[in-house]
Chains A and B, each alone.
Chain A
Amino acid sequence: MTALTRVVNSRGHYTIDRDRDGYGYIGKYALVGGISSVTFPCQGFPLVFFSIPYNQPDPGAKTVENAYTYSEGRPGTVLIGVKNNGNGTWTATAISGAGEYLRVFGKVSQNWPNGSGRVPNLKLRGDDGTLHFDAGLRMLKLAGDTYDMELVLDHQVPGWKEPTNKYDRSYAVPFDLNNKSIAAACRCTIGMPYDYGVRTDWDTGQSYTQWHMPYYDTLYAGSGSNLQVKRCITENDPDFETTGFYNVGASSITTYSRLAVIDNTKYP
C-alpha cells in the first residue's frame, strides 16, 4: 500500500504523481549566435527550452527586399530542430543572438533510472518500480500557466516590399519575461521565390528573369510581460533556379503552438 500517489498544487495541477514521469534538468548549452547547433545527451525525446532576449530594441522595419541577413538585426531566439543522433545524444539547432542558452530536460525514468544519487532524498516510484520523481534533481517546473496559451504563427506571404514586422504578434503572459526561457514551435520554413526583375546574361546577351528565394522563420523575444513573435529571413538565395520548384501559393501555412515558460534562475 502506498500512501502518496499524487500531490496537487493551489491551482489544481498535479505537482507530484508517482504514476507519471516527470522531467529532470539535464543542463544548459550555450548558443554562439546566428544559426548554431549544440549536442547533448538524453535518453528518450528531450524537452528543449530556449532563452529569449528581453527588452532589446528591434530595428525590424526593413522591407523584405532589403533583408539579406539571417535575422535582419532583429533580436530573438527560436529552436528550429531537434534531431536524434541515435547514440543517446541529440543535436538541437537554433537561431539566436550570442549569449542565449538551450535548457534541456529529460524523462526521469529514462535518464535517472536509479535516481540522482543525492542523499537524503525523496524518490517516488510507480507500482512497477519505475522512478518518476527525484528531489535530488531539478525537476521541471513552469513559470505559470502559459502552457494553456495557443500561439498563432501566421503564414508568411512574402510580399517583398512589405516591412518585415508585418506579421509580428504579441501575447500577454501573467509575469515578466526577464530571464525566462520558453518552449514553442517554430514556423514552417517555406520559401517563395519572387521576381527580382529581368537581367541580362553578359556572356550570351540573353535576357532572363532573376528570382530571389527568401526563407522565412520565427523569432521570439520578451518585452515586459509580452511575448513577441516575429518574422525573420534566415537566408536569401539571390539567384534562385525556379525550374522544378513547387509553387507555394499565396495561401501558405499557419502554424499553431503551445507555450511553456521556465525561470532561468531555477536552472543554472
Chain B
Amino acid sequence: MANPAIRIWNDAGTEVLFDSWTDDVLFFVEEHPVESPDYSNRQVVYSYPQLAGRKIVAFMTAPYNYGSRRAWALPSCRVSYSGTTPVVTVFLDDQRTDLPIAAGMLTIMLSGVTQ
C-alpha cells in the first residue's frame, strides 16, 4: 500500500467500504428551492467565491408528483467559472413567458478537484 490512503473495511474484512485514495466523493455545499409561477426573463445566479479554484456540481430535481406534472418545466442549471469563481446559473433556455409552472430543487456539491 504505497499510497497515503485511509481504507475502511467491513467487519468480515471482505470488502473495502471506503478508500480515500481511489474513491470520488461529492460534498454538500447548499441547496435552494427554485420556484416561480412566472419564469419570464428570469435567471438566478449563485456564486461561490469561497470555493474559488475548485470544481463544483449542481443538480436540479423536480419537486412534482406525476399527477401534477402536466405542463410543467424543469429549470436547467449549468456550472461555469467566472475566473476561478464557480457559478451556477438557473434558467429556462428560451425564457418563455407562458409556462404555468417552473420549479426545482437545486443541490450544489463540491468535488474539491482543481479547476
Residues of A within 8 A of B (CB): 6-17, 20-23, 35, 37, 45, 47-48, 79-84, 91, 93, 107, 122, 135, 138-145, 147-148, 150, 155, 183, 185-191, 215, 246-248, 251-258, 260
Contacts and interface: CB of A to CB of B under 8 A. Distances in A.
Contacts of A7: 6, 20
11 contacts: A9-B25, A20-B110, A22-B25, A122-B6, A135-B8, A141-B25, A185-B59, A185-B61, A185-B74, A189-B71, A189-B72
A190 B73 contact: yes
Contact of A13 (B17, B24, B29, B96): B24
Contacts of A256: 76-78, 93
B42 interface: no
Contacts of B24: 9, 11, 13, 15, 141-145, 147
Contacts of A23: 26, 28
A80 B65 CA distance: 8
Nearest to B96: A253
Interface string B66-85: 10011111101111000000
Interface in B58-115: 58-66, 69-74, 76-79, 92-94, 96, 98-100, 105, 107, 109-114
B2 to A, nearest CB: 11
Given A93-B65, A254-B76, A21 B27 contact: yes
A11 B54 CA distance: 13
A82 B63 contact: yes
A15 B27 CA distance: 9
A208 B38 CA distance: 33
Contacts of B57: 147-148, 258, 260
A251 B98 CA distance: 13
B99 A246 contact: yes
A253 B26 contact: no
B96 A186 contact: no
B71 A191 contact: yes
Given A138-B17, A139-B18, 11 more contacts: A9-B21, A9-B24, A14-B27, A80-B66, A122-B6, A147-B57, A150-B79, A185-B76, A186-B74, A187-B74, A247-B98
Contacts of B31: 45
Nearest to A254: B93
Interface in B1-28: 3, 6, 8, 17-18, 20-28
A45 B109 CA distance: 13
- 10 closest A-B pairs by CB: A14-B112, A20-B27, A188-B73, A141-B23, A21-B28, A256-B76, A135-B8, A15-B20, A142-B24, A81-B64
A82 B68 CA distance: 12
A190 B71 contact: yes
A258 B79 contact: yes
Contacts of A37: 65-66
B28 A189 contact: no
B65 A16 contact: no
Contacts of B20: 7, 9, 15-16
A14 B6 CA distance: 12
B91 to A, nearest CB: 9
A143 B30 CA distance: 23
